Amino acid sequence: MASSSGDSSGFTQLQNSGSEENTQMMLVDQRKRKRMQSNRESARRSRMKKQKHLDDLMAQVTQLRKDNNQILTTINATTQHYLNVEAENSILRAQMMELNHRLDSLNEILNYINTSNGIFENDHHEDLPDHSFMNPSNLFYLNQPIMASPDLFQY
């Protein structure tokens, strides 16, 4: 009987060691599955974070393109306005030069008339050989009107 009891305890030990190995294998397998699940979840979170970052960058690119287009539109409008003002300034400078020239001519005529009246009043006829050109009615340019272009009065 002793041998039968020894055999049965040996079998029980084999069963116990087999079930411990199975338990350990199951624990290792569970840990492995748990780690794999955790890794999958981490990878999913990483992909989502990466996608969100990509979406944010794409939204930023869209906004920057929109801002860039607005800036270009503003630059084009400002450049056109500058060219218009520059053209208007050029016209105004030309008109100013023309008016200055006319004013100088009129001042010369007035000085000439005043000087010639002074000469006649002082009886210095000998200084001037021909007195007919000093008569204001003989000066053809006194009767010419000063022409103003319509552009002169546009604002």
For the chain, the average pLDDT equals 79
Rounded-to-integer distance, Cα 104 and Cα 136, Å: 17
Neighbours of 8 (CB within 10 A): 10
Task: Flag whether 23 is in a domain.
Answer: yes
Rounded-to-integer distance, Cα 126 and Cα 106, Å: 26
Has this prediction a pTM greater than 0.85?
no
| pLDDT on residue 21 | 81
pLDDT tier, 2 (very low <50, low <70, confident <90, very high otherwise): very low
Task: Flag whether 36 is in a domain.
Answer: yes
Task: Flag whether 1 is in a domain.
Answer: no
- Total domains in the chain come to 1
Task: Flag whether 103 is in a domain.
Answer: yes
Domain that holds residue 68: 7-153
